Structure 1
Amino acid sequence: MTTALRRLRNYIDGEFRDAADGRTTEVVNPATGEAYATAPLSAPADVDAAMAAAEAAFPAWRDLIPAERQKVLLKIADRFEERAEELIAAESENCGKPIALVRSEEIPPMVDQIRFFAGAARMLEGRSAGEYMEGFTSIIRREPVGVCAQVAPWNYPMMMAVWKFAPALAAGNTVVIKPSDTTPASTVLIADIIGSVLDELGHSRGVFNVICGDRETGRLMVEHKVPAMASITGSVRAGMQVAESASKDLKRVHLELGGKAPVVVFEDTDIAKAVEDISVAGYFNAGQDCTAATRVLVHESIHDEFVSALAKAASETKTGAVDDEDVLYGPLNNANQLKQVKGFIERLPAHAKIEAGGEQVGDKGYFFAPTVVSGLKQDDEIVQQEVFGPVITVQSFSEEKQALEWANGVEYALASSVWTKDHARAMRMSKSLDFGCVWINTHIPLVAEMPHGGFKKSGYGKDLSAYGFDDYTRIKHVMTSLDG
């Protein structure tokens, strides 16, 4: 007996709609490898409709005083808390994530981040008015950019949606957001939540729109004439394509792309504490995190002890079913990602050694064992390229200069960490590490008040913080004569 698939739909101008041409794609639960829903495969007509709704809603939303936009965002945050169990269930099915971890590690930060941007809406900053030419006063206005086309990834579908819509709406923009084709369920639920709040408070539901689809749908969004800004969290390749497409009409672009975070462990480190924290930061969410602690560089004097402890920690780390409260992470997101992670392991050079894991777990779903690989060299593929899986690599260095050179010697520049008791060394390293974030004796904590974003091929623009809010605004100079 075949179970009927749930039907997900686009959310455009306050209505849930199928794709105009009726096309759909199946959505698979990565914990089972089985389809549980269908979602629209949106085409030009759907993108046109969503952009038209956002464009029509923009003037009234833009012209609201910040306090009114704040009310909306605070109500959305409240509603996220009220409907938390629905969101948790949707995200767990979306991604195969452990239910307990979605409840503890994703819902509270998302609610906090929405509330942060609700406050940011009322903290617009600019230089004070003044006379810089005799007889004239200059004023700086900070304004929303307009309609924002946003593309969210599959590793944190809910949270990345929040990182995008919250600052955009707070700043006075309207939104058309597309979730990944593999994880649309939670974003569609978010549309229901936001739409109901907009309706209750008397605002156009066209302020927030969701369209489901694939890469082609995303390309149509970015190339559409209406959006003033395109924002994407995704791969380097996707970011380059977005930047190229947006350049055709000089759209503003906000890119948060891949990472290959170095974790530099010096000889004076508390090994047990470092291993414990690095294991969690490397394997959490199955390593599917651009900031994951998956590239360890450890001083040669403690290398063997550290690798042994790391391998032991990997063997004690559990992956498994969504309702098992003892697991640290669930499956990889999709069959292609499982294939990619397996490929890195299969192509390891002869000098590499698998200290733990290295294989798929079970015969159902896309689970992969927590893995440690040692004996690697700087130019090895697995060191240079993002695996995006539960695989921690280890290299041995002899001196600080070499550690810094190797840490910076990749194309990514999103996040990094330094592990040492030497304050001066920590300051030297944090100054010279070419990454958008440097953690010292920790790895992966994020707060709403601090920016998240990288350099080089990790993209540009910031998420979170006042810097992330500023990215969704534009600056206007107004000058007036004082002689009447």
Structure 2
Amino acid sequence: MTTALRRLRNYIDGEFRDAADGRTTEVVNPATGEAYATAPLSGAADVDAAMAAAEAAFPAWRDLIPAERQKVLLKIADRFEERAEELIAAESENCGKPVALVRSEEIPPMVDQIRFFAGAARMLEGRSAGEYMAGFTSIIRREPVGVCAQVAPWNYPMMMAVWKFAPALAAGNTVVIKPSDTTPASTVLIADIIGSVLDELGHSRGVFNVICGDRETGRLMVEHKIPAMASITGSVRAGMQVAESASKDLKRVHLELGGKAPVVVFEDTDIPKAVEDISVAGYFNAGQDCTAATRVLVHESIHDEFVAALAKAASETKTGAVDDEDVLYGPLNNANQLKQVKGFIERLPAHAKIEAGGEQVGDKGYFFAPTVVSGLKQDDEIVQHEVFGPVITVQSFSDEKQAVEWANGVEYALASSVWTKDHARAMRMSRSLDFGCVWINTHIPLVAEMPHGGFKKSGYGKDLSAYGFDDYTRIKHVMTSLDG
């Protein structure tokens, strides 16, 4: 007997709707490899409707005093807490993530981030007003940019949606957001939450809209004439395509793309503590994190000891079912991602050595073992390109100069970490590492108050923090004559 699939729908102007032409795509639970829902495969008519709704809602939302927008965001944060178990269930089914980890590691920071941007709504800052020409006063207005087309990724569908809609709404913009075609469920639930809050507080529900679909849907959103800004978290290839599409009408673009974070471990490091922290930061969320600690550079004097400890930690790290509280991570997100991770392992050069893992786990779902690969060279494919899986690579360096050269010697520049007890060395490294974030003796903690974003092919623009808030605003100079 076939179980009926749940039907997910777009959220446009306060209404849940199917795609205008009725097309759908199946949504698969990566823990089982089986479809559990259908979602709209939205086309041009759906994108037009969502953009029109956001455009119509924009003037009233823009003109609200900041305190009113803050009130909405604070209510949304409260509602996230009240409906946390629904969000957890949706995200776990979306991604195969362990329920306990979604509850402890995603819901609290998401709520905190929404509340942070609720406060930021009342802190629009500009340089002080003044007279810079005799007889004239200049002031700076910081304004919302307009309708924002936002595309979220599949690795953290809920949290990345928050990173996008919270600063945009706080600054006075309206939103059309598209979740990944493999993970739409939690974003559709978020639409229900936000829509109910907007309705309760008397605001247009067209302020926030959700469109489900594939890459073509995303392209239609980015190329649409209405949005003033396009924001995407995704692959380098997707970011380049968005930048190219947005350039046709000079849309503002906000890109958070791939990463290949170097983890530079010096000889004075506390090895057991470093191995413990790096393992968690490398394998959490199955390594499907642009900041994951997956590229370790370790000083040659401790290389063998460190690799042995890292392999032991990998062998003790568990992946498995969503209801198992002992697992650190669940499956890879989809069949294509599993194929990609397997491909990196299958193509390893002869000089590489698999110290732990290296294989799929089980015969159901997309689980992959925690893996350590040593003996690698700087120009190896697995060193240069993002695996986005539970795979930690290890290289051996001889001195600080080589460590910096190799750490910076990739096309990505999102995050990095340095492990040493030498304060001066840590400061030198933090200056020399060409990455948007440098952690010292830790890896992966994030806070709402600090910016997240990279350089080079990791994109541009910042998420979180006042800098992320500013990205969703524009600056206007107003000059007035003092003689009437």
1:349-364 paired onto structure 2 within 5 Å? 349-364=349-364
Q: In the TM superposition, what whole-angstrom CA distance separates every residue of 1:222-245 from its partner, at most 9, and x where no partner exists? A: 000000000000000000000000
State the partner residue of 1:108: 108
Q: Distance in 2 between matches of 1:178 and 1:303?
A: 44
1:229 aligns with 2:246: no
Q: Distance in 2 between matches of 1:261 and 1:271?
A: 19
- Match of 1:168, SS? helix
Q: Distance in 2 between matches of 1:468 and 1:321?
A: 35
Q: Distance in 2 between matches of 1:182 and 1:365?
A: 14
Q: Distance in 1 between matches of 2:382 and 2:243?
A: 26
Cα RMSD (Å) = 0.2
* C-alpha deviation, 1:450, in angstroms: 0.0
Q: In the TM superposition, what whole-angstrom CA distance separates every residue of 1:170-193 from its partner, at most 9, and x where no partner exists? A: 000000000000000000000000
User: TM-score of the superposition, structure 2-length normalised?
Assistant: 1.00
Q: Distance in 2 between matches of 1:138 and 1:355?
A: 64
Q: In the TM superposition, what whole-angstrom CA distance separates every residue of 1:5-45 from its partner, at most 9, and x where no partner exists? A: 00000000000000000000000000000000000000000
- Match of 1:368, SS? coil
* C-alpha deviation, 1:46, in angstroms: 0.1
Q: Distance in 2 between matches of 1:268 and 1:83?
A: 47
Q: Distance in 2 between matches of 1:108 and 1:59?
A: 32
Q: Distance in 2 between matches of 1:429 and 1:342?
A: 33
Q: In the TM superposition, what whole-angstrom CA distance separates every residue of 1:207-254 from its partner, at most 9, and x where no partner exists? A: 000000000000000000000000000000000000000000000000
Q: Distance in 2 between matches of 1:68 and 1:12?
A: 22
- Match of 2:58, SS? helix
* C-alpha deviation, 1:205, in angstroms: 0.0
Q: Distance in 1 between matches of 2:197 and 2:122?
A: 20
Task: Extract unaligned runs of 5+ from structure 1.
Answer: none
Q: Distance in 2 between matches of 1:247 and 1:70?
A: 33
- Match of 2:172, SS? coil
* C-alpha deviation, 1:96, in angstroms: 0.0
Q: Distance in 1 between matches of 2:155 and 2:264?
A: 25
Q: In the TM superposition, what whole-angstrom CA distance separates every residue of 1:281-308 from its partner, at most 9, and x where no partner exists? A: 0000000000000000000000000000
Q: Distance in 2 between matches of 1:465 and 1:442?
A: 20
- Match of 1:28, SS? strand
- Match of 1:348, SS? coil
State the partner residue of 1:34: 34
Q: Distance in 1 between matches of 2:270 and 2:97?
A: 31
- Match of 1:139, SS? strand
* C-alpha deviation, 1:444, in angstroms: 0.1
* C-alpha deviation, 1:467, in angstroms: 0.0
Q: In the TM superposition, what whole-angstrom CA distance separates every residue of 1:328-361 from its partner, at most 9, and x where no partner exists? A: 0000000000000000000000000000000000
- Match of 1:259, SS? coil
- Match of 1:367, SS? coil
* C-alpha deviation, 1:389, in angstroms: 0.1
Q: Distance in 1 between matches of 2:394 and 2:251?
A: 41
Q: In the TM superposition, what whole-angstrom CA distance separates every residue of 1:86-139 from its partner, at most 9, and x where no partner exists? A: 000000000000000000000000000000000000001101111000010001
* C-alpha deviation, 1:432, in angstroms: 0.4
- Match of 2:302, SS? helix
- Match of 1:466, SS? helix
Q: Distance in 2 between matches of 1:142 and 1:264?
A: 40
Q: In the TM superposition, what whole-angstrom CA distance separates every residue of 1:345-379 from its partner, at most 9, and x where no partner exists? A: 00000000000000000000000000000000000
Q: In the TM superposition, what whole-angstrom CA distance separates every residue of 1:112-170 from its partner, at most 9, and x where no partner exists? A: 00000000000011011110000100010000000000000000000000000000000
- Match of 1:297, SS? strand
Task: Extract unaligned runs of 5+ from structure 2.
Answer: none
State the partner residue of 2:254: 254
Q: Distance in 2 between matches of 1:349 and 1:413?
A: 25
Q: In the TM superposition, what whole-angstrom CA distance separates every residue of 1:360-406 from its partner, at most 9, and x where no partner exists? A: 00000000000000000000000000000000000000000000000
Q: Distance in 2 between matches of 1:140 and 1:413?
A: 33
Q: Distance in 1 between matches of 2:309 and 2:363?
A: 29
Q: In the TM superposition, what whole-angstrom CA distance separates every residue of 1:436-468 from its partner, at most 9, and x where no partner exists? A: 000000000000000000000000000000000
* C-alpha deviation, 1:265, in angstroms: 0.1
- Match of 1:72, SS? helix
State the partner residue of 1:80: 80
- Match of 2:26, SS? strand
Q: Distance in 1 between matches of 2:131 and 2:437?
A: 39
State the partner residue of 1:381: 381
Q: Distance in 2 between matches of 1:398 and 1:478?
A: 57
Segments of 4+ moved more than 6 angstroms: none
- Match of 2:291, SS? coil
1:412 aligns with 2:412: yes
State the partner residue of 1:153: 153
Q: Distance in 2 between matches of 1:294 and 1:164?
A: 26
* C-alpha deviation, 1:194, in angstroms: 0.0
Q: Distance in 1 between matches of 2:356 and 2:208?
A: 46
Q: Distance in 2 between matches of 1:268 and 1:127?
A: 45
- Match of 1:388, SS? coil
- Match of 1:405, SS? helix
- Match of 2:394, SS? strand
- Match of 1:479, SS? strand
Q: Distance in 1 between matches of 2:392 and 2:461?
A: 28
* C-alpha deviation, 1:81, in angstroms: 0.0
Q: Distance in 2 between matches of 1:128 and 1:369?
A: 56
Q: Distance in 2 between matches of 1:87 and 1:71?
A: 22
- Match of 1:38, SS? strand
With 90-99 and 128-137 compared, the bigger mean Cα shift is at 128-137
- Match of 2:298, SS? strand
- Match of 2:253, SS? strand
Q: Distance in 2 between matches of 1:8 and 1:447?
A: 32
Q: In the TM superposition, what whole-angstrom CA distance separates every residue of 1:50-100 from its partner, at most 9, and x where no partner exists? A: 000000000000000000000000000000000000000000000000000
- Match of 1:285, SS? helix
1:43-82 paired onto structure 2 within 5 Å? 43-82=43-82
User: TM-score of the superposition, structure 1-length normalised?
Assistant: 1.00
Give % identity. 98
Q: Distance in 2 between matches of 1:204 and 1:59?
A: 11
Q: Distance in 2 between matches of 1:482 and 1:374?
A: 70
Q: Distance in 2 between matches of 1:206 and 1:162?
A: 17
Q: Distance in 2 between matches of 1:378 and 1:128?
A: 49
Q: Distance in 2 between matches of 1:128 and 1:63?
A: 22
Q: Distance in 2 between matches of 1:346 and 1:117?
A: 44
- Match of 1:322, SS? coil
